[in-house]
Amino acid sequence: MRHDSVIADLPGGTTFYFVRHGATAANATNVRCGGDVDLPLLPIGVTQAHAVAATIRARALPIPLVISSSLMRARQTAEIVSAALGDLPIVLEPLFDERRLGTLNGASVPMTESLLAAEPAPPSVEPLQAFEERVSQAFSQHGHAFAHGALLVSSRGVARMISRLLNVVEHMPVGNGELIEYRLELGRHTCRLLV
């Protein structure tokens, strides 16, 4: 299912940014941590947030505001980045929270790949279509901000879903505390890692 309205609402030439939150205990042990588990950043995650803020500052990216998932790991990352960039406004958006994973939380990432790709999803897991519709709704609600270069701070699954919604030619996987740039051009949408 594609949400063409998400694309139609954004003018050609739009560029916006995405930062994956800094590392948590779940990331450090390579286990699942969905939007139904609220973990804080590890000290290395705080360092990653400061580093990505330094990258944004060094590149002089014209970011007017930060939109953040409501989860603690994203909020902490957003607050660090905002402060480093002169206290940019932060908008919290729960619709950008990571996919809810139910009983798969705490399970090994490699062992759960096929389960998360399956349709229908396991009973306790948020269905992929529901996750897609939720992210699409959030994206549409904040389209004006994205059209003006907003920075979204959220999770890896949300980045994948945005790439899917925008029909990005080649999705760029994003690690903890990494920054990607989405560029929407006529007939072709791309993302690239900024280091």
Residue 174: CATH number of its domain = 3.40.50.1240
Q: What is the CA radius of gyration of the chain?
A: 16
Assess contact for 144 and 121: CB atoms under 8 A.
no
Provide the residue range defining the domain that includes 70: 4-194
**Tell me: the pLDDT tens digits for 12-69?**
789 999 999 999 999 999 999 999 999 999 999 999 999 999 999 999 999 999 999 9
The pLDDT of residue 187 is 73
Q: Domain count of the chain?
A: 1
pLDDT of residue 9: 67
Q: How many CA atoms lie within 13 A of 31 on its CB side?
A: 11
Predicted structure pTM score: 0.94
Low-confidence ranges of the chain (pLDDT < 70): 1-9
DSSP-derived 3-state class of residue 67: strand
Q: Which of helix, strand or coil describes residue 26?
A: helix
- pLDDT confidence of residue 83: 98
pLDDT recorded at residue 132: 95
Main-chain dihedrals φ then ψ at residue 192, nearest 5 degrees? -145, 150
Nearest CA-CA partner of 69 in 7, 131, 124: 131
